[in-house]
Every structure is written in C-alpha cells, then in structure tokens.
C-alpha cells in the first residue's frame, strides 16, 4: 500500500511539473507585456526551486531556447543572470547567451560552469573585444584558453589575463606575457604581482619596468644584477634602430603634401558627418599616425599642436583623456596606445600616473581634464 501511494504521489508531482512547464512554454510564445512579466516570475521561481545536480526537462529547455531567440533584451539579460551559476541549464542555451551582446553575455561568461573550453574559444574567435576580455578574466580558465588569448596578442585581453591570478598559465605562457610587456606597459604591474612569477622570469621582467615596479620585484625575488645587465644589453641590441638616412628636399615636400591631404580628407569626412571614433582606430591600425592626429583634433575640437603634445609626453594620461573625449572605448585604448607607440618612437612614455583609475571617465569629463592639462599648449 505504501509503495502504491508513493507511486501516485510521484506521478502527481511529475504531472504538475509538466503542466507548469507547458504553461511557461505558452507564456514564452506570447508577446503581451503581462505574459512576459508572468514568465519572468515563473522562470525565477523555477530556478529557485531546482535542486543542485538536477537536469532541466526537455520542455524547460524549449522555453529557454524560445526566450533566447525571440525575447526582448531585458528578458534575455534577466535569463542570463538567472542561469549564470545554474548547473542544470541547457548547455546550448548558455553557449548562445555567451555570444549575445556583452551586457547579456557577461554573467554567463564570468560564472557558468557549463561553458567548456570549446565554448570559450568560440567566444574569442567570434565575439567582440569586450567578450574576449571577460573570457580572460573568467576564474580558473584552462591553459588551452590562456594560450589562445596570448596567441591573439590583443593588448586589452593580455592585460586582463595578466591580472587573472586563478588562470592556468604555464611558465612558457607567462614568459610570453612578459615578452609582450616590452611593448605593452599595462602588463607590467599585474605581472610583478603574478603568483607564478619565479626568479628567472622576474629577472626578465625587471628590465622592462620602472623604478617603483623594480622595487616591488626586488621585495619578492633576488635579481642577479650581472644576468640583468647581460639581458638588457641583448635587448638593447635587438631593438636598436638603424641610423636614418637624411631626408632630401623631395622627402620633405612629400611629408608636407601628405599632411595636407590627410587634413583635407578629415575635413571632408567631418563635413559629411562621417568622422567617428571608428575611423581614428582604423587609421592607427593602418599605420597612418598623421591621419589619426588630424582626425582626433577635428573630432575633439583641440588643436593639432595639443594632440601632438599629448603624444609626446612621459605618460599616456593625456592621450587617454583625449581618446576618451571622442568616444574611443576604454577596452580599445590599450591597442590604440600600442599602435601609436610603434609609430612615434615609443611615445607617449610608460610612466605610471594612475591611468587605470580613470577608465570610467565620460567624454565630457575627459575633455575638461584634457583642457586643464594641455590647454596652455599652443597659446
């Protein structure tokens, strides 16, 4: 008798769950605002009630897939937040949300236990730089994913990876990050604090950092000064530029003509309403520093003299403010800075002036700070 009662109870519960899932499926197909509200409440309750280790029913999987494909942005975002740490959610749905726009994708990229290496590698290949940064920040990413990030060599994602102390980074991978720090100054501070840094790698990093970071390395490791001197000598010979040939009159005329052509192109784009931050980013990627300078001067309203003064400074703070004032995204700035340094003999310098603390500065505030910093230039 007891067994019969238990079986009847189980069937009743099963029927109730199927009925509830069917009702949620109907709500997911509905377009009305009230049904969407009821759906969210139902999904939230279902998430709270699902025990650890349980798997989602096929009907529930159907509901989630319909939501992800058809629902409005706010519902997809709420769904991503609800499923971010769930172990029972449909893996295909979580992988889909990880490729959605960044505000929707961020919770699952950061937390979902269902995202496997192949899912994260797909995000690195197919999604935006903001998605890639979130992958680099994800706790306990594998060595395979870390190596893929280093292979892509994007300054912003490399910097995020350098600051991820839980990532599985091999000694070889860490050495590659240190090698990148020769040209990407933002890598140096997090690398000095990296838990996997050893004596050999610390000596290698020591030659690329400023005095403050050298002291930090010295507190953790014993740096062999004789080995360091040898390493610096090798590095100096490797990057020593060839002596430039003196420019002739024809070359000087060519530079002047190119500068004038770039100025006219920028003026034409601005008149047509086509001068935007994306154009400036493309200019530096195409190694056209002069076009970038004319473009950012026109877009920001600052003079060409002030723009060039911002580049020729011991730190990148002024250039960051200038870029922020025209809407160049903070996640893109490290790549822009790296390109500009390659085109201008290493300027701006890599002095640490608290640049990272200004990463959320809005354009209007950035313009005010830039004006306060360099408003006197060209007067």
**Sign of the Cα pseudo-torsion (154, 278, 303, 269, in order):** positive
User: What average pLDDT does range 227-239 have in this prediction?
Assistant: 47
pLDDT tens for 20-37 read 666 766 776 776 767 766
DSSP state of 50: S
Query: In this structure, what token pair is assigned to residue 170?
Result: 């091999």
Residue 118: is its pLDDT beyond 50? yes
User: What average pLDDT does range 213-224 have in this prediction?
Assistant: 59
Confirm if 189 and 352 have CB atoms less than 8 A apart: yes
What pLDDT does 8 receive?
Answer: 36
User: What average pLDDT does range 172-189 have in this prediction?
Assistant: 88
Q: DSSP labels for 143-163?
A: HHHHHHHHHHT-HHHHHHHHT
What pLDDT does 232 receive?
Answer: 45
Query: In this structure, what token pair is assigned to residue 266?
Result: 């920028």
What pLDDT does 78 receive?
Answer: 81
- The C-alpha atoms of residue 122 and residue 217 are separated, in whole angstroms, by 36
Query: In this structure, what token pair is assigned to residue 347?
Result: 């300027």
Helix, strand, coil fractions of the chain, as percent rounded to 5: 70, 0, 30
User: What average pLDDT does range 147-176 have in this prediction?
Assistant: 92
Q: What are the helix (H) ranges across 207-316?
A: 211-220, 225-239, 249-271, 277-285, 289-300, 304-311
- The C-alpha atoms of residue 307 and residue 293 are separated, in whole angstroms, by 6
Confirm if 88 and 54 have CB atoms less than 8 A apart: yes
What pLDDT does 243 receive?
Answer: 39
Residue 250: is its pLDDT beyond 90? no
pLDDT tens for 295-308 read 999 999 999 888 99
Of 114-123, 140-149, 215-224, 311-320, the least confident: 215-224
Domain edges within the chain: 252-374
Q: Between 188 and 38, whose confidence is greater?
A: 188
- The C-alpha atoms of residue 146 and residue 135 are separated, in whole angstroms, by 9
What pLDDT does 261 receive?
Answer: 83
User: What average pLDDT does range 120-134 have in this prediction?
Assistant: 93
Q: Average pLDDT, whole number, for the chain?
A: 77
Residue 333: is its pLDDT beyond 60? yes
pLDDT tens for 63-110 read 666 666 666 777 778 878 888 988 877 888 889 899 999 999 999 999
User: What average pLDDT does range 188-202 have in this prediction?
Assistant: 84
Residues 6 or more apart whose Cβ sits within 8 Å of residue 297 = 303, 304, 306, 307
Q: How sure is the predictor about 330, in pLDDT bands with cuts at 50, 70 and 90? A: confident
What pLDDT does 186 receive?
Answer: 86
CA-nearest of 32, 24, 6 to 62 is 24
User: What average pLDDT does range 229-251 have in this prediction?
Assistant: 44
Percentage above 90 pLDDT, the chain: 25
Strand, coil or helix: what is 73? Answer: helix
What pLDDT does 46 receive?
Answer: 64
């Amino acid at each position: 008798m007891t067994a019969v009662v238990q079986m009847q109870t189980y069937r009743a519960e099963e029927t109730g769950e199927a009925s509830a899932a069917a009702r949620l499926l109907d709500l997911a197909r509905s377009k009305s605002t009230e049904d969407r509200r009821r759906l969210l409440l139902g999904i939230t309750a279902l998430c709270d009630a699902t025990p650890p280790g349980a798997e989602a029913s096929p009907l529930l999987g159907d509901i989630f897939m319909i939501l992800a494909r058809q629902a409005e942005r706010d519902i997809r975002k709420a769904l991503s937040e609800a499923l971010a740490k769930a172990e029972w959610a449909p893996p295909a749905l979580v992988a889909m949300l990880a490729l959605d726009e960044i505000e929707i994708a961020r919770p699952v990229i950061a937390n979902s236990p269902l995202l496997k290496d192949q899912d994260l590698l797909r995000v690195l290949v197919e999604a935006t730089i903001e998605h890639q940064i979130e992958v680099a920040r994800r706790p306990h990413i594998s060595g395979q994913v870390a190596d893929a990030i280093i292979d892509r060599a994007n300054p912003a994602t490399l910097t995020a990876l350098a600051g991820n102390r839980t990532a599985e980074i091999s000694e070889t991978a860490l050495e590659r990050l240190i090698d990148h720090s020769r040209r990407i100054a933002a890598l140096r501070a997090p690398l000095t604090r990296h838990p996997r840094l050893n004596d050999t790698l610390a000596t290698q990093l020591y030659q690329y950092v400023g005095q403050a970071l050298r002291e930090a390395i010295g507190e953790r490791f014993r740096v062999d000064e004789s080995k360091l001197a040898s390493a610096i000598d090798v590095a100096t010979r490797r990057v020593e530029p060839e002596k430039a040939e003196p420019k002739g009159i024809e070359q000087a005329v060519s530079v002047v003509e190119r500068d004038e052509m770039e100025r006219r192109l920028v003026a034409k784009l601005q008149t047509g309403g086509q001068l935007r931050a994306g154009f400036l980013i493309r200019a530096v990627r195409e190694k056209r520093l002069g076009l970038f300078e004319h473009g950012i001067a026109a877009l920001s309203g600052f003079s060409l003299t002030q723009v060039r003064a911002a580049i020729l400074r011991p730190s990148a703070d002024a250039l960051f403010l200038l870029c922020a004032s025209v809407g160049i995204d903070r996640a893109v700035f490290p790549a822009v800075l790296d390109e500009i340094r390659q085109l201008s003999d290493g300027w701006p310098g890599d002095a640490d002036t608290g640049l990272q603390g200004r990463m959320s500065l809005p354009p209007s505030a950035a313009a005010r700070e830039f004006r306060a910093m360099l408003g006197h230039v060209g007067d």
